[in-house]
Amino acid sequence: MVNNLKYIVTLCLFFVFSYSIVTAQDKAKITGKVTDEKGNSLEYVNVGVFDKKTQIGVNTDKNGNYTLTIPANIQLILIVSFTGYEQQKINLILKGGEIKELNIRLKQSTTELPTFVVQDVYLRSSNFKRIDPKNVTQIPSPSGGVEALIKTMPGVSSNNELSSQYNVRGGNYDENLVYVNDIEIFRPMLVRSGQQEGLSFVNSDLVSSILFSAGGFDAKYGDKMSSVLDIKYKKPLSFGGSVAMSLLGVEAHLEGRAINSRFSYLIGVRQKSNQYLLNSLQTKGEYRPSFTDLQTLLTYDFDDKWELSFLGNYARNVYNVVPENRETDFGTVNNALRLKIYFDGQELDDFETRFGALSLNYKPNKRISIKNTVSAFQSYENETFDIQGEYWLSQLEADLGKDNFAQEAYNKGVGRYIDHARNYLNSSIINYEARITASKTNHLIQAGIKYQREEIVDKLSEWKYVDSSDYSLPNPPDSIGSQNPLHYAPELQNIYRAKNNLSSNRISAFIQDSWAIDGDSSRLSLTTGVRISYWDLNKEFLVSPRATISYRPRWKKDIVLRFSTGIYYQSPFYRELRDIEGNLNLGIKSQQSIHFVTGMDWNLKIWNRPFKFVSELYYKYLNNLIPYEIDNVRIRYSAKNEAKGYACGIDFRLNGEFVKGIESWASLSIMQTEEDLTNDSYMLNGVKIEPGYIPRPTDQRVVFSLFFQDYLPKMPNLKMHLNLVFGASLPFGPPNSQRYTQVFRMPPYRRVDIGSSYMLKSKTSKLSSKNIFRKVDTIWLSLEVFNLLQISNTISYLWVKDINNRQYAVPNYLTPRQLNLKLVVEF
């Protein structure tokens, strides 16, 4: 622990105090305000000055104000830029000590792309929502990152604070697309629990833009059925960085420009250990998790037309646990039970991933952009464990009048089980993609083609042994009543063994046109496109048309109406091909989802402050479904197209300044999703029963989330951040049972996380020239309380049996109330 603390302190000091800038003896100052054409203040506008020796930049504050200290008596170029607006360049020379006021008004971009690229206008005509990246550091969450914000969006649900995965409108984790700088991101496939998962790919320190769609997205996005998360990383204007430390780990990043401002770099490193959280779980033991991630984005501008960039990532997530014991109370007030387990053995999992993407972007003129990208992803996944558990199942005394109330009254059963696994999976995915974007009058045309090569090497070896009251289950013949249970050989259960090698090729292409029909995209616009794909493994050729139309009526209220529809195919990946026993179904077909989404976007004023109300009503017809089961975050497919289904619901979101000057939002989703399996009928008393439609594993009827921020009026540097989530019950069932029996409901997911943060130093703090913190922009100290209400949320169940073969579902609870202390330094 001491060595880790020394490492963290040394790393912090290195990043904070190694930065120095050689400045001229005489300085001048530029100050002013940046607004749009309507005079509205613009926050986070990049304002910087550049020449061969100087690169200095700042961002505007929430009121659009900026102050920049620059060298005097030198010819400099002031550059002001912001996404969706035309860049401005101003030549200037200031004398020593001079203070010049420059108020700048930016115009919406009309050259690089048509009016659709004015992001706020374009997004209102699409099904995408913009999320402010600065809230990533504010939201209290054990998992953290961009995904913590995504979980608060309408239509999104997650019942596991230890995982970054999420469900969208009745889909599962595998149905979500993630892009970083237009490059599709993949993740490991063997992860079975949030404890193992570690860090997600997206490094929030490097993010400049977050867009999210819960359905009805455009044809340029790939072949998944549920959602798209579109991330853009920064292209920095000047040197900067940050360091963040907490009880859960440390992360840091550097950014800047060099080589006459033609070369820009982003470098981020993260080290996380959720040992602190895991030690609070029911299963006590020695947890040794270690999650490491190194990521970089390097960009070089040859000239105004050619740009080369490289996005690279190396991640290693190691999870090692030696369990010791567990005690869980469950049941009802009148039938309270206690399970005690004593463990032997250990689990060691290692997930190593490598990713690299090289992109060459060519802009022959202001209206055309051509991008070529080559990328490669490799993963090496090892999951090994041998864990023996000896358990005692006891009945608790329920009589309040007895001295041993809530204590063990008598024993209901004693048993033993052994879980064994030696699972190894290596995957290699190589892509080449070419995209072109062209604008003409009121049209924005985008097209692309992509080739993907996949190679999978998989070795599966799992089994389970259960012994209850000295009898092996399932009972061997003639074992019941035997005087010597050793007369028979133990019988293993859930034996899964397989070795698979798979290579395949995919090709896909798309074309789409965004048309401002009346010349004003904020009034009437239409986006149509088609996507085609072919996979040589199952010889399947798919055509996926999609369309979105939006209309802004000439009403006094600022309302945009939208309707989207399209066919969304999800071509099987390796996990969908493999059944529970490890067998591959190479003839499996793509799952299909037909979306119908109608929505409303309303900009309004409440308390004379800006708000946005968004509502979407949707229906998804699902066909060729591959049924699956979920255990924690592990998805196990049947590897057969044997179901049809639907998902329907309505989403609401209200966001704005509930407290003046700071954004908060509330989301409500009401949804139902069911499926009908073929050939699942059964006989009961001589009568054939057809189960019909049954809830899908993600059938969560109601989800409500609230992200609320506040501050003290007389102490604006002291802020409060609250993250509240309620998710209705999810269906579950016994292991190895028929799908129609898996309709029990686990308790609702209820959680409140709260944090308080105080700005110890701001950009405007006045410090002496000798103060070591003068180069630091901001310092934040935060105290977070996870699971404030101390609610025991259930993520899954451990099933135990007695000699009568009766099963008991013992809940696996998530983390209890925990404290976290966090320090964030930006420079």
DSSP one-letter string for 268-289: EEEEE-THHHHTTSSSEEEE--
What token pair was written down for 724?
Answer: 């509240």
Residue 807 DSSP label: E
The neighbouring-strand residues paired with 732 are: 744
**259 vs 372: CA distance, rounded Å:** 24
The sign one gets for the Cα dihedral 689, 693, 697, 699 is negative
CA angle 297–301–303, rounded 5-degree value: 170
**Chain center to CA of 223:** 18
Peptide bond preceding 474 in cis form (omega within 30 of 0): yes
The sign one gets for the Cα dihedral 68, 69, 71, 73 is positive
**618 vs 226: CA distance, rounded Å:** 12
pLDDT for the residue numbered 83:
59
pLDDT for the residue numbered 491:
67
Q: How far is CA 515 from CA 121, 123, 529, in A?
A: 13, 14, 11
Torsion of CA 272, 276, 280, 286, to 10 degrees: 90
The neighbouring-strand residues paired with 170 are: none
**589 vs 533: CA distance, rounded Å:** 13
**192 vs 718: CA distance, rounded Å:** 39
Beta-carbon contacts of residue 717 (< 8 Å; ≥ 6 apart) = 711, 758, 759, 762
Does residue 497 contact residue 460 with C-beta atoms inside 8 Å?
yes
Does residue 786 contact residue 818 with C-beta atoms inside 8 Å?
yes
At which residue do the structure tokens 């930065």 appear? 19
Segments in 518-651 forming alpha helices (H):
574-577
Does residue 133 contact residue 112 with C-beta atoms inside 8 Å?
no
Q: Residue 670 corresponds to which amino acid?
A: I
First vs last Cα of the chain: how many Å apart? 28
**370 vs 361: CA distance, rounded Å:** 6
Q: Could you state, in chain order, the average pLDDT of each consecutive group of 10 residues for the chain (827 residues)? A: 45 40 59 78 77 66 78 82 76 82 76 35 79 88 90 93 92 94 90 82 91 93 92 89 92 91 92 89 91 95 92 94 92 86 93 95 91 96 93 85 81 86 95 93 91 95 76 49 46 85 96 83 85 95 95 89 95 92 92 96 90 95 94 86 96 93 93 93 85 94 95 88 95 86 92 92 71 80 94 90 77 92 91
**454 vs 450: CA distance, rounded Å:** 13
Segments in 62-118 forming alpha helices (H):
none
**582 vs 500: CA distance, rounded Å:** 8
CA angle 393–396–399, rounded 5-degree value: 165
Please list, residue by residue across 11-35, b when 16 or more beta carbons sit within 10 angstroms of its beta carbon and e when fewer do.
bbeebbeeeeeeeeeeebebebbbb
The neighbouring-strand residues paired with 356 are: 312, 376
Q: Residues for the chain: how many in total? A: 827
Beta-carbon contacts of residue 400 (< 8 Å; ≥ 6 apart) = none
**640 vs 251: CA distance, rounded Å:** 43
pLDDT for the residue numbered 472:
52
Please list, residue by residue across 687-705, b when 16 or more beta carbons sit within 10 angstroms of its beta carbon and e when fewer do.
eeeeeebbbbbbbbbebbb
Q: What is the 3-state secondary structure (H, E, C) of 201-242?
A: CCCHHHEEEEEEECCCCCCCCCCCCCEEEEEEECCCCCCEEE
Largest CA distance in the chain: 102
Q: Residue 131 corresponds to which amino acid?
A: I
**254 vs 555: CA distance, rounded Å:** 48
Q: Is 251 exposed, middle or buried (0-12, 13-18, 19+ CB in 10 A)?
A: buried
Beta-carbon contacts of residue 296 (< 8 Å; ≥ 6 apart) = 265, 266, 267, 268, 310, 311, 312, 313
3-state SS, residue 783? strand
**379 vs 429: CA distance, rounded Å:** 9
pLDDT for the residue numbered 108:
64
Residue 84 sits at φ, ψ, to 5 deg, of 90, 0
3-state SS, residue 177? strand
Segments in 445-528 forming alpha helices (H):
none
Element (H, E) at 14: helix 2-17
At which residue do the structure tokens 């999978």 appear? 456
At which residue do the structure tokens 């506040």 appear? 710
**532 vs 529: CA distance, rounded Å:** 10
At which residue do the structure tokens 């003639």 appear? 478
At which residue do the structure tokens 């022959």 appear? 364
3-state SS, residue 78? strand
Segments in 502-643 forming alpha helices (H):
574-577
**107 vs 86: CA distance, rounded Å:** 6
Instruction: Read off the pTM.
Output: 0.83
Q: Residue 439 corresponds to which amino acid?
A: S
Residue 365 sits at φ, ψ, to 5 deg, of -155, -175
Does residue 315 contact residue 293 with C-beta atoms inside 8 Å?
yes
**121 vs 674: CA distance, rounded Å:** 36
What token pair was written down for 442?
Answer: 């009121």
pLDDT for the residue numbered 14:
41
Residue 85 DSSP label: B
Q: Is 364 exposed, middle or buried (0-12, 13-18, 19+ CB in 10 A)?
A: exposed
Instruction: Tell me the Ramachandran region of residue 161: left when phi exceeds 0, alpha when psi lies from -120 to 50, beta otherwise.
Output: alpha
Strands (E) located in 8-121:
27-35, 46-50, 55-59, 65-71, 76-81, 88-92, 99-101, 104-105
Q: How far is CA 184 from CA 151, 374, 386, in A?
A: 20, 11, 36
